[in-house]
Structure 1
Amino acid sequence: MIAREVEFEGHLIDSNIFPRVLDLILDLDGEFEILEFRIGKRKEDKSYARMIVFGRDEEHLNEIMKELHKLGARIPDAEDVELAEAPEDRVLPDGFYVTTNNPTLVRINGEWVEVEDIGMDRVIVVDVERKRAFCRFLNEVKKGDKIVIGEKGVKVIPPERPRKSSTFEFMGGHISTERPTPYVIKAIAREIVNLKRNGGKIAVVAGPAVDHTAARDALAGMIRDGYVDVLLSGNALAVHDIEISIFGTSLGMDIKTGRPVPGGNRHHIHTISKVIAAGGIRQAVEKGIVKDGIMYECVRNNVPFVLAGSIRDDGPLPEVITDTMEAKKAMKQALKGVSMVIMLASMLHSIAVGNLLPSTVKTICVDANPSTVTKLVDRGSHQAIGIVTDVGLFLPELYESIKEVEKEG
């Protein structure tokens, strides 16, 4: 067997990091010997562990080390990060390092430098002269870029349980249909208000189900009152929101009676045509064609929105980005600096946005289907809090709770 010494530092016990380390080694048929373990005595104290990890051969040990690295393992007396040039645009050198969505540092000329724009399933490009490191998608890699290879000189900081009690702490992060929803909603409302008072930025990811329920007015109100800083969605949300404003129907159904109206099946196509004729959503609002709703409030309150297209879209509306790579780039840019993301009844958009977020962003996913939240977490967004409920019930209650918290001061 061959061995390698590693160390861990942080809140290893109460954040359940060290038990996961030991389980991982055993699950991968490795062995370990703990050399040193110092447990922090006070809340603010960090724990430290030093151990030897054994593998059958070099390949087996490297497999174990790759997984331990994601939990914050580092080699004592670390060397500088190892780099290799990209041979062509969008072509990576052998052994390239793949990022997690956790904060990551690389060692350049003896100094630890934080990787900018960190996100999962990307590579790290290093500018040695400026001592900067950037997280990049594969399609952003250019010939000659210096790419990090291997784990040497790379430090990952896994998420830890907050040192101070917060309104989010009791929710834990797992998915359950049995949480007391009113209490959860009040806690989220407090978090939103506190975050905005401290200059935080909130993004909302919304699916068309928001239009088909009472949630539309609540989301429009949150935008109007300054609780939404960016909206991420697709063609359908915008089309049906504007259809309601023009015709009072959503998918041809009267939103007040829930009954189909004569000729209602053509309303969404008529809506798209009207907006295109006006020159776009903003122009349709300015010309008085669109008089209320989600997109109206975005335009009136200068809240940016990114609408990503799909092959299912009718139209689409002029603002919809039909190139998926361009849409991803626009979403990534819009998410810069966000402190919280609220995902509402949109599985595909929620997972797409989740893949763009660092683990430090508070993420709330609301859906009537538990599997939507499960899929989001399974695809790497482990920080996501799942609330299994109808968005038509959740959002109006959240908006009312926000107003109540504001009155409380």
Structure 2
Amino acid sequence: MTVSREVVLEGHIIDSGMMESSFGTIMDLGGSFTVEEFDIGRRKDEESYARLLVEAEDEATLQSILHELHQHGANPADPKDAKLQSAPADQVVPKGFYSTTNHPTYIRYDGAWLEVEHMEMDCAVVVEDGGEPRAYTKVLNAVEEGDRIVTGETGIRVDPPSRPRDSGGAFGFMQGGVSAERPSESTIQKIAGAIEETKRDGGKVLAVCGPALIHSGAREDMAHLVREGYVDMLSAGNGFAVHDIERDLYGTSLGVDTETLDHARHGHKHHIYAISEVIREGGIEAAVESGTIESGVMYECIENDRPFVLAGSIRDDGPLPDTITDAVEAQNAIREQAHEADMVLMLSTLLHSVAVGNCLPSTTRVVCVDINPSTVTQLLDRGSAQAVGMVTDIGTFVPMLAEQLE
């Protein structure tokens, strides 16, 4: 005896590969399907619709198939209200709670669809009804006893970003994945156009930067982007800020002159000297105000009121007083910053880019740049549909981007 359920696919399901991946998922997991209705969009801007009858030999297999289909954006044809259970204790979610994707998600509550706020992956969904019902995500360590948590997958609709054939505007190019052979100048020109469009629309650009940006000599160009308002927020680690400040105080980055590539005498001590000077001043802002720090990315952040988050790690020297050393506190600061971003530049830092990427909805535009192809691929594979990757030297990319923006 077989069991079955109807699901629907809507949007640009052919161009995005949603239909193909759904068919493959059903067959790979031991099920079968019948296409009961299929309406194909006849023009580039028209969406398509498909209704499938999914069958399996038992309920467990069917639920496994439906779970995977749900991640691709296939939704039940006959939605019911979502199931809610109260959290039994702080930081404890009910068994079988719904773990979110990073795609736009809706919860059916009292017969109406509620959009889930602050969308990000690997969270629980909390539903409140204080007169005006709302649904929003919570990380597990923020769950409080009594929170009404969505469980199972009934009454949940996931809408992955569409990928129409005709993608116009400055963001139209951000659908091509990763390529080391894509012409760098033309791609950088399009990225510059996307930044300008974001700014014209009142959006915010977040730069996630690694120390390699300073080591490669791109410091002055990144400082220029911050000063001129092309970058609104900065997310980095202790090392990025340390070497940026070291360059200002001693003319080196990790003891190396970034212009001549000469190793300065006792240069290996410069970074720890830089940290001690900032600690002596009481922080980066105080060091800027006193005139100790006179240039660089952190200097421009202070002078132009660009907020930054420096998240620490176990390997940090010092660290700087501005570095957040509590992991949960740092994660919350990154999350708050990421939710404000409309476009994110991930520049030669795998770990911080992954941290920020975990907090982003799939609708946020993302540009990943690194000299290592596997880094770019790993970042884009984390689920952002609106992303582009460039495999190139960050010391070449940032100056060219600054030039295009000017």
Give the TM bin, normalised by the shorter chain.
over 0.9
In the TM superposition, residue 9 of structure 1 has moved relative to its aligned partner by 1.8
Is the aligned partner of 1:348 residue 2:351? yes
> In 2, Cα distance between the equivalents of 1:80 and 1:265?
62
Is the aligned partner of 1:183 residue 2:186? yes
Q: Which amino acid aligns with 2:35?
A: I
Judge conservation of contact 1:72–1:156 (CA < 8 Å) in 2. Answer: yes
Distance 1:378 1:42, change over 3 A: closer
Please name the residue that 1:78 is paired with: 79
In the TM superposition, residue 169 of structure 1 has moved relative to its aligned partner by 3.0
In structure 2, the residue corresponding to 1:261 is in which secondary structure?
Answer: coil
> In 2, Cα distance between the equivalents of 1:166 and 1:372?
28
In the TM superposition, residue 171 of structure 1 has moved relative to its aligned partner by 5.0
Please name the residue that 2:259 is paired with: 256
In the TM superposition, residue 72 of structure 1 has moved relative to its aligned partner by 1.9
Is the aligned partner of 1:372 residue 2:366? no
Quick check: 224-233 or 163-172, which moved more? 163-172
In structure 1, the residue corresponding to 2:321 is in which secondary structure?
Answer: coil
> In 1, Cα distance between the equivalents of 2:180 and 2:331?
32
The C-alpha deviation readout for 1:1-41, integer Å capped at 9, x for no partner, is 21111112222222222122111111222100111111123
> In 2, Cα distance between the equivalents of 1:256 and 1:195?
33
TM-score normalised over the length of structure 2: 0.96
Match of 1:159 among 161, 164, 171: 161
Q: Which amino acid aligns with 1:139?
A: N
In the TM superposition, residue 383 of structure 1 has moved relative to its aligned partner by 3.6
Quick check: 385-394 or 258-267, which moved more? 258-267
Q: Which amino acid aligns with 2:141?
A: N
In structure 1, the residue corresponding to 2:319 is in which secondary structure?
Answer: coil
The C-alpha deviation readout for 1:153-191, integer Å capped at 9, x for no partner, is 110001111454134434533212111111100111111
Instruction: In structure 1, list runs of 5 or more residues that go unmatched.
Output: 404-409
Please name the residue that 1:150 is paired with: 152
Q: Which amino acid aligns with 1:153?
A: G
> In 2, Cα distance between the equivalents of 1:77 and 1:60?
20
What does residue range 357-396 of structure 1 map to in structure 2 within 5 Å?
357-396=360-399
Q: What percentage of residue pairs aligned between the two structures are identical?
A: 51
What does residue range 216-235 of structure 1 map to in structure 2 within 5 Å?
216-235=219-238
Q: Which amino acid aligns with 2:302?
A: V
In structure 2, the residue corresponding to 1:380 is in which secondary structure?
Answer: coil
Aligned pair count reads: 403
Is the aligned partner of 1:133 residue 2:142? no
In structure 2, the residue corresponding to 1:289 is in which secondary structure?
Answer: coil
Please name the residue that 1:23 is paired with: 24
Judge conservation of contact 1:90–1:141 (CA < 8 Å) in 2. Answer: yes
Q: Which amino acid aligns with 1:94?
A: K
In structure 2, the residue corresponding to 1:233 is in which secondary structure?
Answer: strand
> In 2, Cα distance between the equivalents of 1:209 and 1:270?
20
Please name the residue that 1:406 is paired with: none
> In 2, Cα distance between the equivalents of 1:229 and 1:359?
20
In the TM superposition, residue 256 of structure 1 has moved relative to its aligned partner by 2.8
Judge conservation of contact 2:91–2:145 (CA < 8 Å) in 1. Answer: yes
> In 1, Cα distance between the equivalents of 2:322 and 2:57?
56
In structure 1, the residue corresponding to 2:16 is in which secondary structure?
Answer: coil
What does residue range 245-394 of structure 1 map to in structure 2 within 5 Å?
245-394=248-397
What does residue range 97-112 of structure 1 map to in structure 2 within 5 Å?
97-112=98-113
> In 2, Cα distance between the equivalents of 1:363 and 1:166?
16
Please name the residue that 1:42 is paired with: 43
Please name the residue that 2:239 is paired with: 236
> In 2, Cα distance between the equivalents of 1:385 and 1:34?
33
TM-score normalised over the length of structure 1: 0.96
Judge conservation of contact 1:11–1:46 (CA < 8 Å) in 2. Answer: yes
> In 2, Cα distance between the equivalents of 1:171 and 1:275?
40
Quick check: 70-79 or 276-285, which moved more? 70-79
Superposed CA RMSD? 1.3
In the TM superposition, residue 382 of structure 1 has moved relative to its aligned partner by 4.5
